[in-house]
Amino acid sequence: MSPAKRILLIDDEEGMCRMMDAVLTDNGYQVRPYTRSFEAVEQYRHGDYDLAISDIKMPGMDGIEVLDRLKARSPALPVIMITAHATVDMSIQALRKGAYDMLTKPFEPEELLYRVKNALKHSQLLEENRELREELVGKFRFDNIIGAASGLKAVLDKVEKVAIRDTSVLITGESGTGKELIAQAIHYNSPRKAKRFVAINCGALPESILESELFGSRKGAFTGATENRQGLLEAADGGTLFLDEVGNLPMNVQKTLLRFLQEKEFLRIGETKPTKVDVRILSATNSDLMAAVKEGSFREDLYYRLNVVNLHLPPLRQRREDIPLLAKHFIQQQNEKFGTAITGFSPEALEAAMNYPWPGNIRQLRNLIEATMAIESEDTIGMPVLAQFIEVEEGQAAGRGGENDYSSALARFEIDYIRCLLQKAGGNVEQAAREAGMNMATIYRKLKKYDINKDDFH
């Protein structure tokens, strides 16, 4: 059960103060009432209360000064101001100084409770958002990006420098190398970290939708535009927009994006008045944008606007020393998620993983660990399970060359295992793959490798 919310109550009218105290206490709140504002402010300590309620018109220190004093000590404290003589100027003054709400006397107890609940709910949401931002900043600290390879460390040194500078960055590298992770690290270590990080995959949407997604549209601008629509560029105002696979932008969108980078304004589809926003652009690609420029499919002026700073992420095969570190991290994540206790790869499986080229890079490694942990019944991920998901060359692991070496033992195991699967499935490869939790392609590859005929099991 959550503790009662604590409310500071200040009103020089003793009868009104007692009434509000009784209403709030009867509804489960912990109330500390004061009839003298000086005393309330003098005894106030940051963190003592979740909400303050104060009358405005009081002798000595009035409610506006009380509001000033409380907000100076606790800027996030919600304050409800009460008055019997509300004026527009007074209300505006109180709200400008940070009051959450205004309540005019006389009021019913139900209205007081309604305003209090709203103020506390709003405060809780602000606190949750603050905690989430702190969690995100912690998650994307540079020392939380895993890797010890010199190539990655050189990139991270560069990232740390460009994060604080409001400049465009183009992140290049093969698919699966962690380009979006680097973009998030830049954002959450920049002065924009309190604002939104908005990402879009430019290759995942057709041209007609991509333009309206990025820049927004006016009602009636095209068939289906039934209302004014804010684009992602506007949604990221004050923050960062990440354009993944930016090389897929069509020419008309490139032109609009270039204008934004030059003028900090853009036109929504169907509008003639430009919209101004303050957004930092980060982009990424796994293709050769310079080659696209030479071919005429990507604007040269836009390329140089996006590529003020270039960060190139090395593929996993060029940072093999990071494979054990990454594997340990992903295994730990899966253990925490599913309550398992896998300790890591067996020595033979780790050697095989270190020698594998990882064409899908870090993403492939993460997915492989999730898949192998789903079917592994031992304390470590061993070769029999690993070999179901990646090609493992014979003689690659320890003990090369003998009849009883590891590779021979693995081959005998796989032959017996696949024969058993096919026997149970009556030669049906699809059913055998489903039974083993393997891809059909893997089964067919093993049939070819060991010269096993599925028709022998009908």
The pLDDT tens digits for 395-415 are 544 333 344 455 566 777 778
pLDDT of residue 396: 47
Question: Cα 403–409–415 angle (5° rounding)?
Answer: 115
CB atoms within 10 A of CB 357: 12
Rounded Cα distance between 64 and 86, Å, is 13
Coil, strand, or helix at residue 356? coil
- Pick from 65, 72, 64, 81: nearest CA to 45: 72
pLDDT of residue 430: 86
Percent of the chain's residues with pLDDT above 70:
89
Rounded Cα distance between 136 and 346, Å, is 33
Domain boundaries, the chain: 6-135, 141-314, 318-457
Identical topology for domains 6-135 and 141-314: yes
Percent of the chain's residues with pLDDT above 90:
44
Please report the DSSP string for 274-310 in residue order.
-EE---EEEEEESS-HHHHHHHTSS-HHHHHHHTSEE
Biggest CA pair distance of the chain: 99
pLDDT of residue 69: 92
Spatial neighbors of 124 by CB under 8 A, at least 6 apart, are none
State the average pLDDT for the chain: 85
Q: What is the pLDDT of residues 26-64, one digit of tens each?
A: 999 999 999 999 999 999 999 899 999 999 889 889 889
**DSSP H helices in 140-206:** 150-163, 179-188
Topology of the domain covering 318-457: Helicase, Ruva Protein; domain 3 (1.10.8)
How much is the CA Rg of the chain, to the nearest whole Å?
31
Distance between the two ends of the chain, CA-based, in angstroms? 63
Which of 8-17, 354-363, 398-407 is predicted with the least confidence, judged by mean pLDDT?
Answer: 398-407
Average pLDDT over residues 276-283: 94
Q: How confident is the model at residue 427 (pLDDT cuts 50, 70, 90)?
A: confident
Q: What pTM was estimated for this model as a whole?
A: 0.59
Average pLDDT over residues 254-277: 87
Average pLDDT over residues 143-160: 78
CATH architecture entry for 141-314? 3-Layer(aba) Sandwich (3.40)
pLDDT of residue 270: 74
Domain 6-135 has CATH 3.30.70.260: no
Q: How many helices (H) and strands (E) does the chain have?
A: 19, 14
Q: What is the pLDDT of residues 326-355, one digit of tens each?
A: 999 899 989 998 899 999 999 889 989 998
